[in-house]
Amino acid sequence: MNPNSDENLNWHGEKMIEAAAEALKKNNFTVHLAAGSAEAVEKLLSLIEIKDRVACGGSRTIKQIGILEALEKRGQITAGSRPFKTPAESLESRRNSLLADVFMASPNAVTLDGKLMFLESIGNRTGGMAFGPGRVIAVLGFNKIVSSVESGWERIRFHSAPVNAKRLNLSTPCAKTGICADCSSEQRICNIEMVLRKKPKHTKYDIILINEDLGY
Ligand code: SF4
């Protein structure tokens, strides 16, 4: 069942997902389609083995779909999914996550010609999504599909970054005004830009495209 209540939005989401999926496959990614979060969780559970050490990069989408709870029910605690007690613990967990069996995260955008786009502050998510973990699984809703790299950066700068800064309660101009000021704040989250043009050479890569509005 598709969770969107409007049939026209469902139709458009499906069309965007079909187009992005075809392009991603041409760029050597393995692609799975899901009508909603429940189907995405089923797919993730089939891709992740019980013995796997799982980690995730900070992701609203991963939290929203309910995969962390589903893994916990199987006895698998996902590294990086809980608040850290100290900065040192946070750093250590982020380093260890780069060598997990499975690393899950959500890109900030995917283009209709099959490129994955990321913006972040620290580098643990972009690092894990490029090289290190045994398998990478990118999970994203249809709302992150954009027509080009240029429109992807626009989406990220004018939408994803300010909303994430607000979510994280940061002292940045965008967290107050909702608009990027290309700040020099210590808490700036826009330090690293990454575009995956093709599947990274030595990484097993699955992408789950969900016909649901998820994350930022
Ligand atoms: S550069 Fe600064 S103001 Fe702009 S989105 Fe990033 S954190 Fe916010």
At residue 80, the pLDDT reads 79
Best residue among 182, 186, 191 to mutate for probing ligand 1's pocket (most ligand atoms within 8 Å of CB) is: 182
Enter the DSSP assignment of 53: -
For residue 196, give both structure tokens. Answer: 């995956």
pLDDT tens column, 177-203:
999 999 999 999 999 999 999 999 999
Residue 85: count other Cβ atoms within 10 Å of its Cβ: 8
Q: Please work out whether the CB of residue 168 comes within 6 Å of at least one atom of ligand 1.
A: no
Give the CB-side neighbour count of residue 206, counting CA atoms within 13 A.
Answer: 20
Q: Please work out whether the CB of residue 108 comes within 6 Å of at least one atom of ligand 1.
A: no
Distance 167 CA to ligand 1 centre (A): 13
Q: If pLDDT is split at 50, 70 and 90, which confidence band does 85 have?
A: confident
Would you say 132 and 205 are in contact if contact means Cβ atoms under 8 Å apart?
A: no
Burial of 127 per CB tally in 10 Å (0-12, 13-18, 19+): buried
pLDDT: which is higher, 109 or 13: 109
Distance 57 CA to ligand 1 centre (A): 20
- The structural domains of the chain, with segments of one domain joined by +, span 7-210
Q: If pLDDT is split at 50, 70 and 90, which confidence band does 1 have?
A: very low
CATH topology of domain 7-210: Rossmann fold (3.40.50)
